[in-house]
């Protein structure tokens, strides 16, 4: 429930964009960031600014090319986004946040039960996994979600629609 105290605590009015990370949010993400490469050119943009650009794109639902000029350029932002996605950084951050939230409400960090659900969706794009779900007569992809009993997302998995639900719980797929 929102109270005047919690509204002040979570206010984003002082930020440049509402999608920018607060100092408290950055304090959670910063320790999980991979070490910078020991060789090569030093980065021009801070990791926090790159995260701000990623959140701007994701929260606004805009194209990468529409990133404002005061944020890192789209090529830099997308390159980091793709690298972190492929390295599983987003999954590690989600895991850390889920464990912290479970402990915050007095539960054990690791859940003992979870709920698996899937949804087949139509796609017209040629990139990414795609298949035909004969049961639902849909050409496209299947989203599989594993959540704890309080609704916290543990695993989000994207697969071709022709993958059966019982098979989709295995190690294959594109974990997000």
Which tens digit of pLDDT belongs to each residue from 99-134? 999 999 999 998 999 888 888 888 776 677 778 777
- 69-93 pLDDT, tens digit each: 999 999 999 999 999 999 999 999 9
Main-chain phi, psi angles of 120, to 5 degrees: -95, 135
Cα torsion 93, 41, 52, 63: sign? negative
Please give the pLDDT value at position 60.
Answer: 92
Please give the pLDDT value at position 175.
Answer: 53
Please give the pLDDT value at position 7.
Answer: 86
Whole-model pTM over 0.85: no
DSSP per-residue codes, 23-66: HHHHHHHGGGSPPPPSSSPPPSS-HHHHHHHHHHHHHHT--GGG
Q: What CA–CA distance (Å, rounded) separates 166 from 142?
A: 13
Please give the pLDDT value at position 162.
Answer: 80
Please give the pLDDT value at position 26.
Answer: 95
Please give the pLDDT value at position 170.
Answer: 61
For residue 61, what are its two tokens?
A: 């639902």
- Check pLDDT > 80 for residue 171: no
Q: pLDDT band at 140, cuts 50/70/90?
A: confident
Neighbours of 80 (CB within 10 A): 19
Highest mean pLDDT among 20-24, 37-41, 153-157 belongs to: 20-24
Helix (H, G, I), strand (E, B) or coil at 133: strand
CB 146 within 8 A of CB 155: yes
Q: What CA–CA distance (Å, rounded) separates 143 from 158?
A: 5
Q: What is the mean pLDDT of the chain?
A: 87
- 34-79 pLDDT, tens digit each: 988 889 888 899 999 999 999 999 999 999 999 999 999 999 999 9
If one compares 120 and 17, the residue with the highest pLDDT of the two is 17
């Amino acid at each position: 429930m929102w109270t005047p105290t919690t509204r002040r605590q979570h206010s984003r009015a002082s930020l440049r964009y509402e999608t920018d990370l607060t100092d408290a949010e950055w304090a959670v993400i910063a320790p999980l960031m991979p070490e910078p490469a020991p060789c090569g050119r030093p980065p021009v943009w801070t990791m926090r600014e790159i995260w701000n650009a990623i959140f701007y794109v994701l929260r606004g639902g805009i194209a990468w090319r529409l990133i404002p000029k005061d944020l890192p350029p789209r090529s830099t932002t997308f390159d980091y986004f793709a690298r972190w996605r492929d390295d599983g950084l987003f999954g590690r951050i989600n895991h850390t946040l889920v464990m912290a939230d479970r402990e915050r409400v007095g539960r054990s960090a690791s859940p003992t039960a979870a709920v698996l659900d899937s949804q087949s969706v139509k796609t017209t794009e040629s990139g990414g996994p795609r298949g035909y779900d004969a049961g639902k007569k849909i050409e496209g992809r299947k989203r599989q979600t594993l959540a704890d009993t309080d609704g916290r997302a543990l695993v989000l998995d994207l697969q071709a629609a022709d993958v059966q639900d019982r098979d989709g719980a295995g190690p294959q797929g594109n974990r997000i």
